[in-house]
Amino acid sequence: MYSFYNFKILADLQEELDSLKMQSETISKNKVHPSMKSAIEKLFKKIIDISRANGLEISQEDESFVAQYKKATIGVNIIRDGFSLKLSVNNMEVDEIRAIVSASKYISPQVNVKPDELENDILNIQKEIQDIKGLLSSYENLNIIFVNKNSQTFRTPEELIKQYFG
């Protein structure tokens, strides 16, 4: 059994969800992805600088470098289309560092619905809308952080460098 009331709410919510998804994709492509790549590039350059400052010899290519002291090496490669760094010591992978968007919580008001066959669909779309609005809120207050394979989070490049090279 369906109510016209819930049917209209479902249609309105679906339209809002579609609009939010398009908005999210556009912002992600035009703002977030470039910011994530920039954060990885800055981290890459900071690791080169600290390696040089510590007397290591640097051999650099476009998206990778090797820092060497005697026969020991540290390798750093930008991977995954510029969103991650791979760290290795003596050609053995040590870790992978990814740039991610620091999430922010978003709570939106829920529409009250009548109990019928559409109720669960409406509640699911409301949850999805809330999740996308939270993502968009994160995009507005963009804060790029770093995370490694063990899900350890680093708020700044300096924090990460101190952990790995400190």
pLDDT at 11: 96
| Chain segment 81-126, per-residue pLDDT in tens | 999 999 999 999 999 999 999 987 777 778 888 888 899 999 999 9
d(CA 129, CA 96): 32
User: How much is the pLDDT for 90?
Assistant: 97
CA dist list (Å): 145 to 1, 129, 138, 161: 48, 24, 12, 13
Using CA atoms, how far apart are residues 130 and 140, in angstroms rounded to an integer?
A: 15
Q: Are strands 144-147 and 84-89 parallel, antiparallel or unpaired?
A: unpaired
* pLDDT for residue 49: 96
Residue 30 pLDDT level (bands cut at 50, 70, 90): very high
At 130 the three-state DSSP class reads helix
Higher-scoring residue by pLDDT: 83, 166: 83
